[in-house]
Structure 1
Amino acid sequence: MLQTYLKAENMKFKRSLFRKLILLVPAALILTSVVLMYVGMGLDGFSSVMVCNWCMPVASLSVVFLCHLVNNKDQKHQYRTLYSLPISLKKTFISKTILTALNLLVISLLLSLVTVISECISSGTLAPAGLTGYYIMGYCLLWFSLLWQIPFCLFLDQKVGFTCSVIINLFASALGGLFLYLTPVFWFFPYSWTARFMVTLFGVTTNGLPASPGSRLLLSLGESLLLLLISITAVFLLSALFSRWYRKQVYRR
């Protein structure tokens, strides 16, 4: 049954900006990274600059934009066409979450391929191509750490609007990605998870410099698995919580 809801949601976005962001986000990220390299801010190489920009703050902003576009389709009609249909609003919310997550996954996979290509170009050999699986896994783990933001931003966008959602996410991602990820508090502040995964997986800190071997910022295998489990649990709990909230909106309108 959920597959039907996914197909219905997916049909809303044919030839829309929601689909185009799959290419626009990587393109903007590549351009930004090239500019930063040109002005001398990419000391550890292009791929490091790109993953830093992705983790802080482009990824969070991408989630906000995607969630806003998903909500905006129904907001244009003030939700009349949605609330008048004999459908499960809970499943509708979950399908919106899944569709946004899939778009974010495609963006992540494209970024991993761009990383491999850039590493091959910078090294002048095809040796980095052998690490394609590692880069894909790395970006997929970063993707898992971002998933909790999707149900949260779908809720936030509808409650406080797009502008406030951008401000909140920018502030929170800056706080988590620049400061709190350096402390043990990062376990309790979800916006820090992506930055901590980035340091562990790619060996680069959020200022673009390489992490020193044996740094306390590097997670062990057990800690990485625990953080992954926490990330997955968070997205399920938030999806369940906000889908129940979304379902109740029909009684308020």
Structure 2
Amino acid sequence: MLRTYLAAENLKFKRTLFRKLILYIPAALILIAVIFLSVGIGLGGFSCSIVCNWCVPIASLSIVILCHLVNNKEQKHNYRTIYSLPIDLKNTFISKTILIALNLLLISLLLSLISIISEYMQSGDLSAFKYTGYYVLGYCLLWLTLLWQIPFCLFLDQKAGFVGSMIINLIFTGFGGLFLSLTPIFWFFPYSWTARFMITLFRVLPNGLLVQGGTRQILSLGQSSLLVVVSLLTAVVLTFLFAHWYRGQVYRN
């Protein structure tokens, strides 16, 4: 049944900005990386600049934009488009969450492809393609740590508005990514999970530089597995929590 809801949600965004962002966001990251490298920022290299800017803060901003576009479809009609339908609003919210997650996954896979190509262009050696699995898996794991933000931002967008949710996400992502991600406290602040995983998977610090010496910031296999489990559980709990809230919110409106 959920597949039917997901198909219905997907049809709403055919030939819209929601779909086009799958290409626009990677293109923007490429442009940012080129600009940064041209002025001497992001000395770790092009692929390091891509993953660093993605984790802090472009990924969070992308989620805010995607969530706003999804919410806006119903809000601009004051929810009249779903009042008359015999549907389960919990499933509607869950399908919206899954649709955004799939779009985010496509963006992540495209970024992994860009990183692979950039490594090949820099090294001039086909051996760069040996790291295909490494980049794909790395970006997919980063994607997992971002999933919890989707239901939260769907909620935040309705409560604080687009500008408000963007400012909140920018502040929290910057604070968590630049400061808390390098401390043991990162476990208790979800906005720092992606940055800490980036350090572990790609050996890139939030400032765009490569990790030098020591491995204090690198999570062990057990810690990395725990972070994946915690991220997924948080995403599932928030999705069902806000799905219940969404049903009541729509009926009140």
CA distance in 1, matches of 2:245, 2:79: 15
Partner of 1:218: 218
2-structure distance, mates of 1:79, 1:10: 17
Aligned residue in 2 for 1:169 = 169
Q: Deviations over 1:75-100 (max 9, x none)?
A: 11011111232110000000000000
Q: 1:252 matched to which residue of 2?
A: 252
Q: Which amino acid aligns with 1:113?
A: L
Instruction: Report the Cα distance in structure 1 between the residues aligned to 2:206 and 2:249, rounded to whole angstroms.
Output: 40
Q: Residue 55 of structure 2 corresponds to which residue in structure 1?
A: 55
What residue is the counterpart of 1:88 in the other structure? 88
Aligned partner of 1:105 in structure 2 is: 105
**Structure 1 position 7 matched with structure 2 position 2:** no
C-alpha separation between the residues in 2 aligned to 1:137 and 1:250?
Answer: 38
| Separation in 1, partners of 2:244, 2:48 | 40
Comparing 209-218 and 29-38, the one that deviates more:
209-218
TM-score (normalised: structure 2): 0.98
Q: Distance in 2 between matches of 1:208 and 1:249?
A: 41
In structure 1, the residue matched to 2:236 is 236
Q: 1:12 deviation in Å?
A: 0.2
Alpha-carbon deviations, 1:96-144, whole Å to 9, x = none? Answer: 0000000000000000000000000011111110110110000000000
Structure 2 unaligned runs (5+)?
Answer: none
Q: Distance in 2 between matches of 1:107 and 1:150?
A: 15
Q: Does 1:156 align with 2:156?
A: yes
SS of corresponding position for 1:114: helix
Q: Tell me, which stretches of 5 or more residues in structure 1 are unaligned?
A: none
Secondary structure, in 3 states, of the residue corresponding to 1:161? Answer: helix
Q: Distance in 1 between matches of 2:125 and 2:239?
A: 44
> % of aligned pairs identical?
67
Tell me how far apart the structure 2 counterparts of residues 5 and 112 of structure 1 sit (CA, whole Å): 29
Aligned partner of 1:26 in structure 2 is 26
Q: Tell me, in whole angstroms, the C-alpha distance in 2 between the residues paired with 1:150 and 1:51.
A: 20
Aligned-partner Cα distance in 2 for 1:49–1:23: 18
1:160 CA drift (Å): 1.2
